[in-house]
Amino acid sequence: MTLIKSISGIRGTIGGEPKHNLTPIDTVNFAAAYGTWLKNQRSKSHYKVVIGRDARISGGMIQGLVMQTLVGMGISIVDLGLSTTPTVEMAVKLEQADGGIILTASHNPKEWNALKLLNKNGEFLNAEEGKAIIDSVESGDFNFAEVDDLGDIYRNSAYIDLHIEEVLQLELVDQDAIKKAKFKVVVDAVNSTGGISIPPLLRQLGVEVIELYCEPTGHFPHNPEPLERHLTDLSSAIVEHNTDFGLTVDPDVDRLAFMDENGKMFGEEYTLVSVADYVLTHKKGATVSNLSSSRALRDVTEAHGCKHYASAVGEVNVVAKMKAVDAVIGGEGNGGIIDPQLHYGRDSLVGVALFLSHLAHKKMKVSELKANYPQYFMAKEKVELTADLNVDAILNQMVTNYSDQEITTIDGVKIDFPENWVHLRKSNTEPIIRIYTEAKTQNEANQLAQRFIAELKSVAKS
């Protein structure tokens, strides 16, 4: 059983002992720390926080604990109930709230849950803000409201519909072209809130929808991370129903993956690549992804005569870089699309709408679209080290060893070779170096990863 505290919030497994799992006591303490931080940001007479959750079995319990803790601190709540991460992010802005909390453990299995924390812009907290909340949890220095100053709870179930409306109004979402294409699509929503957001969006766009696991029961029918090995039912349904493609989202709907008309994986990395290709066709500007995302985005961006930038890993870092370079599109290689015309957060709804617009304009099959892009393959490995080793010194030595190559050190060490790359990142919680590689064949990516495993172990011994 596990409890993990990070700058983005707290996540853990339900049940067990406090401080070792996500128990009611830990939930209350973390909610109180967030409320304390929020009130310290500015002095007001009234505070408001938006809260929504995915369909996890523990969601109702966790949401009740969080809401009533904040009410006890004199903070009023806009309760979205079952919702999506991007919907909560948008609602914070539309409500002009002081912050927001999404109760979801993203792609983790059903025994997990989490509190993901937002600022007044509906964006994830930065490192300094997250640390302040963790420090507050440790100190337990909370101040609750007196009886006449308790907060209120307001229920608002309209925000998914409002979210869909905002997506449909985007200039680059070509509703007419999508409707004329008469797409037929299978949706696997892993029995979470993708089932109450993605099919309604598709139907408004004139798409015929085959629903697969779209009841928000929280009983995930398979591992909820949208990887090919977990999507055998989706693959079979695409072939069985003769659809144009299939799509899946994770439980909180910020990761989006497609399968082609043959039931083959389009690739999470290529979700962003294809959407960026469409956006850049109509609107020139910079693109941003993190250091561990595919080089294909850089290639496509440069083919449009534009500049690609890489950020440190993590949505908050991607967003900061997007703002700094005024990017027109960005995201992460895990299927996360960030369209600044809508909001600065990974959003599967806008990703779906832009991908459909792209496909309708291209008038080609999904497999043909994928074949148009530079083909890269990734490997992900790790090296476990003993606790006494200085991981930073090991990574610094790798910088020295490869000083003749293009090196980036904003997040670990990334070494860009002419035909491939390797990204070495240390874990914040254990003596592990994670190794990500990308090359033009899977075998080459695997071999590159094994080569660096050997090199890291050699440096560690020296």
Taking only Cα atoms into account, the Rg of the chain, rounded to an integer number of angstroms, comes to 22
Of 58, 76, 106, 294, which residue is the catalytic one? 106
Largest CA distance in the chain: 67
Cα(384)–Cα(136) distance, integer angstroms: 32
Catalytic residue check, 462: no
Residues catalogued as catalytic: 106
